[in-house]
Structure 1
Amino acid sequence: MAPEFGLCPLCGQRIVATIDHYLPQSRFPALNLTPANLIPACSDCNKRKLASVPTRAEDQTLHPYFDDLGNERWLIADIQPSTPPTVSFHIRAAGAWDEVLTARVRKHFSVMGLAELYVAQAASELADMSYGLEILGAAAGPDGIRQHLEIQFQSCQARDSNSWRTALHEGLRDSDWFCGEGYRLIRTHYPENV
């Protein structure tokens, strides 16, 4: 019950369904019931993590309650011109991170499959936004699209400066191609009754 909205703190997307042992109980039985070692998690993240034990600090995934990544923007969305627009997510190391923390964030991102998960979420978000963007673009042009995306970015950033939504809206806002024409290429048709 600890995670906000019941969402897995390891991915931030799926509903908590299990308890993950941060350090595997098979290797650290003395920590089996230690609260700091018990992480509410979705079953996908729990399965992805399995019982692997890193041999180097750089290979340790993040602990959602003890690792502080700060508020500097580090999750980045790149928008590539295509039909529909293509979004990819990557990590840009924050200035306050040392090499070990940077490696751990990248490891966590990889082990939990966050790039793929966020791309799927972003595709759904774009599909939901497309109709409204077409109407806005017809009325206010690229500047209106950019202003709308700026408001969405600010709103998302106020809650979580490094959510995939924050990164997505920032990437879309900063893409001249998307604001000028890409928003029209998300979906090629709408139902007649819309």
Structure 2
Amino acid sequence: MKKRIAKHIKNQDFVKVYITNTDDYEIDHFNGIIYEQNDKFILMCDTFDFNFDGFIVLRKSDISEIKCTENEKIFKQIIDNERITNSITKKRLAINVTLSAFKEMFIQLMYLKLPIIIECKYGKDDRFQIGPICEVDEKKVKLKHFNASGEFDLKPTTARYKEITFFRIDSPYANIFYKYAKEIE
């Protein structure tokens, strides 16, 4: 898989990446360009309806399939012609996060003070956590989570690394919502 991903990175191919749970059941998929890989993770942009939807960090061990069919090639032509690829590449350069272990990536993101989205989709506990990082240690990350009403929780929300399915950086949804989130009075 490493060589195949390297080829997609080199060619800046538009791909569809599927992730599955331990029962081989598809739990999500992402459409975009893979920008980086290491032994454990990939970092890719995600798009929705030709619009940038943030950068995703996924465990390689969770990836069940990477598609680059004629459909993806047409999508690539469209985002290139619309100059969306150039815009995403500029965003990638501005978000200077290097793939490493969870702890190191979250420390980098904590200093950027960006809100992130963490999704935990394994097992029974399907969680969506959003907010800026406030603490990082060896086994978990804590977010200053804000709820669907745009109010920050009184206590930080914890996500253990082993429970994280993926996390999203520079999401328009998170960035805009974060601007309007407020402390609970």
Please confirm whether the aligned pair reaches a TM-score higher than 0.5, indicating the same fold.
Answer: no
Q: Which has the higher contact order (CA 8 A, sep 6+)?
A: 1
TM-score relative to the length of structure 1: 0.25
Structure having the higher strand fraction is 2
Computing the radius of gyration over CA atoms, which structure comes out larger, 1 or 2?
A: 1
Point out the structure with the larger helix share: 1
